Amino acid sequence: MRKFATQSCRFMDAYHKGLDGKQAAWAAKKYRGHRVLPATLMDELDHTKLI
């Protein structure tokens, strides 16, 4: 239950930062921060060409 809640928080943060579903799934899997994704996420997405 706690694992689902933490992953849901990461997805909400990704959607709040303007990512779509595919990008949010990639970011939530790659980054294991404390309920939020890092501020450098958009730079990382530019390098991987997911945007």
* Per-residue pLDDT reduced to its tens digit, 1-51: 888 888 888 888 888 888 888 888 888 777 776 666 777 677 677 666 655
DSSP assignment string, 17-36: TT--HHHHHHHHHH---SSS
**Residue-level pLDDT at 20:** 87
**Residue-level pLDDT at 13:** 84
**Residue-level pLDDT at 16:** 87
CA distance 49 to 2: 32
Range of the domain at 32: 1-48
Global confidence as pTM? 0.63
**Residue-level pLDDT at 33:** 65
> How many domains are there within the chain?
1
